[in-house]
Chains A and B, each alone.
Chain A
Amino acid sequence: MINQPQTELEKCQQQAEEYLNNWQRERADFANYKKAESKRLEEFVKFANVGLILEVVEVLDDLEIVAKNNENNEGLEPVLKKFQDLLAKYGAERIKVEGKFDPNLHEAVTAEAQNGSAETQNTEGEEKLEEVRAGYKMNGRVIRPARVKIIK
């Protein structure tokens, strides 16, 4: 009989410890969560405009195609420049298409041999890239790869 209070006490102590432990864990979780959340928010703000930028870029694609296909582009050049300035202002920069094909920056649409026939076989030798749609980076992240035609 005398043992009972002892076990009761032990039970209570155990419980108290468990509660304290859980509470501390919860506080730590929360503190960590707050830190992670503020980091996420930072990231979110950095890329919050991406959706809109990509929509603008799509219109710009069309405009560039028009410019490329028309001989008289009077007045169009400054407009294109304005678009690029606007994008730059929001941290978006055009991906340069040069050197070798790099899937981190480029997306291949077709591969052609010099003579124009479709070519997918392994061949040695220099390949050239031709941009078919501009790619963009924003804050160091590729938001849209440059679409390229690979010419072997």
Chain B
Amino acid sequence: MAKILGIDLGTTNSAMAIVEIGQPRVLENKEGMRTTPSIVAVGKSAGAGGGERYVGVTAKRQAVTNPQNTIFSVKRLIGRRFSDSEVQRDQKLLPYEIREGSNNDVEVKLGDKWLKPAEISAMVLQKLKADAEDKLGEKITDAIITVPAYFDDSQRKATKDAGEIAGLDVKRVINEPTAAALAYGFNKKKDEKIVVYDFGGGTFDVSVLEVSADTIEVKATGGDTHLGGDDFDQKIIKYFVGEFKKEQGVDVSKDQLALQRLKDAAEKAKHELSSTLQTEINIPFLTADASGPKHFGLTFTRAKLEELVHDYIDRSIELTKKTMEEAGLKVSDINEVVLVGGQTRMPALVEAVKKLFGKEPHKDINPDEVVAIGAAIQGGIMGGEIRDVLLLDVTPLSLGIETLGGVMTKMIEKNTTVPTAKTQVFSTAADNQPSVEIHVLQGERAMSTDNKTLGKFFLDGIPPAPRGIPQIEVAFDIDVNGILNVKAKDKTTNKEQSIRIEGSSGLTDEEKKRMAADAEKYAAEDAKKRELVEARNLAEALIYSTEKTLKDAGEKVSAEERKQVEDKIAAVKDAQKSEDAGTIKKAAEELSAAAQKIGEALYKQQQTTAEPKKEEATETKAEEKK
């Protein structure tokens, strides 16, 4: 099945996404960016016949030098009649020429040609299509394109035409707020009312949706087609210009180069103030006059930013209330609120929405990408990429076994999709140990006693061998029904034992929650305990190997050296009783150094024997199970 591209064809920026393995993913354009400016231009250099065509960021970069042939915000014109009040209003603001076409529609002048807005949009779509094909290495023919909920039939038709001109089979044109709701999976909710608050770069849209039995219906729409994040930027720049004038007595409002630097600073400050409470603006040599160079320095606070733009925020809230009224709903009727558009990253805006609805709005999905993601999901549903029937479960808690010192060694981490299997090789903790106990545990805590025991069994008949030598392969296997099989096998004798645990995830939700909360609560304490046990285990292994070295060396070690090492061993044994991992580690390090000296002297050609051997010998590669 061919992939269906989800496209958010925006007024200022566009984005695209695709569903892969049932998961939506935003595609970067050729320039490596996740959004593409919805701008098209024709270079003037080539003269008659039209110059080179630029789409996206390259069109934006040359806009200043070629304003008449740089077409942006064409979405404001698409599918509208020339006499439309919206078009008449925009005509005054747009630097490029527009005229009335033969069907009373709008035509845009690009180079020496008059084009329909759909043809301009098609150029943007064509670039997205080409970049997506480049990224995916396959042809894209099908697409889902989003439009504002208030778009009428003519605007939707024109958008669809744009897709077709670009060589796309537009499978469906869906509403932007619907796409946002889809991205959050709200199509599965029953009888819910959702508000989508979309504060983009140039437009503000608010929509009320109602989800019922597999359909998402738009109950009401509202907003302001000329209110957006760009207004915030302008407000900040104006403030900076004013402050600079107050401080330095120079007006830079006509100085393009200075303004550009202030604009950069304004955008950066706006972004930073979403996560910090204040930021420093420092622009050296912003301009100069007879008295010398002028620098701009300012501490810009979040409070000041909020003061500057609160009118805009208030207006958006008023418009939201109005739309609610039109839908005949009270704020208490709303089940979910979704935030869309880059400007909704601003904490004051989130706060205002939260205050209005009395609930936390959804903002986990990148607000610049949520619409494209929703479009891709719609494509995924239609193309069969998203299969509802096959719901794979995950293990709610980690599973593992107890190892030396009462530590839980995890075999399968929580949230692993089942069916799954994992194999790991363990060994014995003492010389000539005839059997090992496999204590199967479930939970997130570090020590086995704090976790839930699922089962225990012994594997015996291990041939006598020094510690660390026998290889005991432990295999965990969870099947699709959540049934856990644990098997232990001695690789020398091939003797094996196993246990089957049904309902290993048979915990109640409450239990799961409590266990997860405990793990978090005791995380620091557990880490300490674990560190202590690990230090003790390491010290134990070190004592073992050093004693063995001494024994093997026999007479080759002088009495003095032997005494020195034996003293250190005694010190480590003493330190092992301590409850402090640091003390044990320190003593072990000293012993290690002493042992190494002997080792070096004894076997110059050999590696040191004092290297502690881990009792968890080797980890075999986890096997993929069919």
Binding site for B on A (CB under 8 A): 22, 29-30, 33, 36, 47, 62, 65-66, 68-69, 100-101, 103-104, 106-111, 120, 122, 132, 141-142, 145, 147, 149-150
Q: How far is the CA of A103 from the CA of B37 in the complex (A)?
A: 14
Least Cβ distance of B380 to chain A in Å?
Answer: 13
Chain A binding surface, main DSSP class: mixed
In the assembled complex, which residues on chain B have CB atoms less than 8 Å from the CB atom of A150?
65
Q: How far is the CA of A33 from the CA of B113 in the complex (A)?
A: 44
Q: How far is the CA of A142 from the CA of B33 in the complex (A)?
A: 11
* Per-residue A-contact encoding for B227-267, CB less than 8 Å = 1, 0 else: 00000000000000000000000000000110010000000
B285 interfacial by beta-carbon distance below 8 Å: yes
Closest-by-CB residue of A relative to B56 is A103
Least Cβ distance of A102 to chain B in Å?
Answer: 9
**A147–B260 contact, CB under 8 A?**
yes
Partner pick for A103 among B44, B61, B67, CB 8 A cutoff = B61
**A103–B257 contact, CB under 8 A?**
no
Least Cβ distance of A142 to chain B in Å?
Answer: 7
In the assembled complex, which residues on chain B have CB atoms less than 8 Å from the CB atom of A68?
285
B7 interfacial by beta-carbon distance below 8 Å: no
Q: How far is the CA of A150 from the CA of B390 in the complex (A)?
A: 59
In the assembled complex, which residues on chain B have CB atoms less than 8 Å from the CB atom of A109?
64, 256-257, 260
B608 interfacial by beta-carbon distance below 8 Å: no
**A66–B257 contact, CB under 8 A?**
no
With contact pairs A109-B256, A109-B260, A142-B31 given, residues A66 and B65 touching in the complex (Cβ less than 8 Å) = no
Partner pick for B64 among A30, A65, A104, A110, CB 8 A cutoff = A110
Least Cβ distance of B301 to chain A in Å?
Answer: 21
* Per-residue A-contact encoding for B35-65, CB less than 8 Å = 1, 0 else: 0000000011100000000100011111111
Binding site for A on B (CB under 8 A): 20-21, 31-32, 43-45, 54, 58-67, 256-257, 260, 282-285, 288, 293, 390
Least Cβ distance of A23 to chain B in Å?
Answer: 8
Q: How far is the CA of A104 from the CA of B44 in the complex (A)?
A: 15
Q: How far is the CA of A104 from the CA of B60 in the complex (A)?
A: 10
Closest-by-CB residue of B relative to A22 is B390
With contact pairs A100-B45, A101-B62, A141-B31 given, residues A30 and B21 touching in the complex (Cβ less than 8 Å) = yes
Closest-by-CB residue of A relative to B52 is A103
**B21–A29 contact, CB under 8 A?**
yes
With contact pairs A103-B54, A108-B65 given, residues A65 and B256 touching in the complex (Cβ less than 8 Å) = no
Q: Would you give 17 A-B contacts (Cβ < 8 Å), ordered by A? A: A22-B390, A29-B20, A30-B21, A47-B32, A66-B284, A101-B62, A103-B58, A107-B60, A107-B61, A108-B62, A110-B64, A110-B257, A111-B64, A120-B64, A122-B44, A145-B61, A149-B257
In the assembled complex, which residues on chain B have CB atoms less than 8 Å from the CB atom of A100?
45
In the assembled complex, which residues on chain B have CB atoms less than 8 Å from the CB atom of A103?
43, 54, 58-59, 61-62
Closest-by-CB residue of B relative to A118 is B256
Q: How far is the CA of A112 from the CA of B519 in the complex (A)?
A: 65
In the assembled complex, which residues on chain B have CB atoms less than 8 Å from the CB atom of A62?
282-284
**A108–B63 contact, CB under 8 A?**
yes
**A33–B20 contact, CB under 8 A?**
yes
**A108–B256 contact, CB under 8 A?**
no
**A110–B21 contact, CB under 8 A?**
no
Closest-by-CB residue of B relative to A147 is B260
Least Cβ distance of A81 to chain B in Å?
Answer: 20
Least Cβ distance of A30 to chain B in Å?
Answer: 7
Q: How far is the CA of A145 from the CA of B288 in the complex (A)?
A: 26
Q: How far is the CA of A62 from the CA of B283 in the complex (A)?
A: 7
Q: How far is the CA of A76 from the CA of B391 in the complex (A)?
A: 63
Q: How far is the CA of A62 from the CA of B293 in the complex (A)?
A: 14
In the assembled complex, which residues on chain A have CB atoms less than 8 Å from the CB atom of B284?
62, 65-66, 69
Q: How far is the CA of A109 from the CA of B58 in the complex (A)?
A: 13
In the assembled complex, which residues on chain A have CB atoms less than 8 Å from the CB atom of B288?
69
**A101–B260 contact, CB under 8 A?**
no
Q: How far is the CA of A110 from the CA of B65 in the complex (A)?
A: 7
Least Cβ distance of A54 to chain B in Å?
Answer: 10
In the assembled complex, which residues on chain A have CB atoms less than 8 Å from the CB atom of B63?
108
In the assembled complex, which residues on chain A have CB atoms less than 8 Å from the CB atom of B54?
103
The 9 closest A-B pairs by CB, nearest first: A107-B61, A103-B58, A110-B256, A103-B62, A103-B61, A108-B65, A111-B65, A108-B64, A65-B285
With contact pairs A103-B54, A122-B44 given, residues A36 and B20 touching in the complex (Cβ less than 8 Å) = yes
With contact pairs A100-B45, A120-B67 given, residues A132 and B257 touching in the complex (Cβ less than 8 Å) = yes
With contact pairs A47-B32, A62-B282 given, residues A108 and B61 touching in the complex (Cβ less than 8 Å) = yes
**B65–A101 contact, CB under 8 A?**
yes
Known contacts A100-B45, A147-B260; 15 additional CB pairs below 8 A are A33-B21, A36-B20, A47-B32, A62-B283, A69-B284, A69-B288, A101-B62, A103-B61, A108-B64, A108-B65, A109-B257, A109-B260, A132-B260, A141-B32, A145-B61
Q: How far is the CA of A70 from the CA of B126 in the complex (A)?
A: 49
Closest-by-CB residue of A relative to B22 is A29
Q: How far is the CA of A81 from the CA of B67 in the complex (A)?
A: 38
Least Cβ distance of A82 to chain B in Å?
Answer: 19
In the assembled complex, which residues on chain B have CB atoms less than 8 Å from the CB atom of A110?
64, 256-257
In the assembled complex, which residues on chain B have CB atoms less than 8 Å from the CB atom of A132?
257, 260
Q: How far is the CA of A142 from the CA of B61 in the complex (A)?
A: 13
Least Cβ distance of A32 to chain B in Å?
Answer: 8
Least Cβ distance of A130 to chain B in Å?
Answer: 10
Q: How far is the CA of A106 from the CA of B62 in the complex (A)?
A: 8
In the assembled complex, which residues on chain A have CB atoms less than 8 Å from the CB atom of B260?
109, 132, 147
Least Cβ distance of B389 to chain A in Å?
Answer: 10
Q: How far is the CA of A150 from the CA of B20 in the complex (A)?
A: 45
In the assembled complex, which residues on chain A have CB atoms less than 8 Å from the CB atom of B257?
109-110, 132, 149
In the assembled complex, which residues on chain A have CB atoms less than 8 Å from the CB atom of B32?
47, 141
**A106–B61 contact, CB under 8 A?**
yes
* Central interface residue in B61, B66, B67, B285, by most chain A CB within 10 Å: B61
Q: How far is the CA of A150 from the CA of B66 in the complex (A)?
A: 11
Q: How far is the CA of A81 from the CA of B59 in the complex (A)?
A: 33
Q: How far is the CA of A142 from the CA of B260 in the complex (A)?
A: 20
In the assembled complex, which residues on chain B have CB atoms less than 8 Å from the CB atom of A33?
20-21
Q: How far is the CA of A65 from the CA of B285 in the complex (A)?
A: 7
**A120–B65 contact, CB under 8 A?**
yes
Q: How far is the CA of A107 from the CA of B260 in the complex (A)?
A: 11
Q: How far is the CA of A104 from the CA of B285 in the complex (A)?
A: 28
Closest-by-CB residue of B relative to A65 is B285
Q: How far is the CA of A33 from the CA of B64 in the complex (A)?
A: 42
Closest-by-CB residue of B relative to A47 is B32
Least Cβ distance of B479 to chain A in Å?
Answer: 15
Partner pick for A104 among B58, B67, B293, CB 8 A cutoff = B58
Least Cβ distance of B623 to chain A in Å?
Answer: 15
Q: How far is the CA of A62 from the CA of B390 in the complex (A)?
A: 56
Partner pick for A66 among B60, B66, B285, CB 8 A cutoff = B285
Q: How far is the CA of A141 from the CA of B45 in the complex (A)?
A: 25
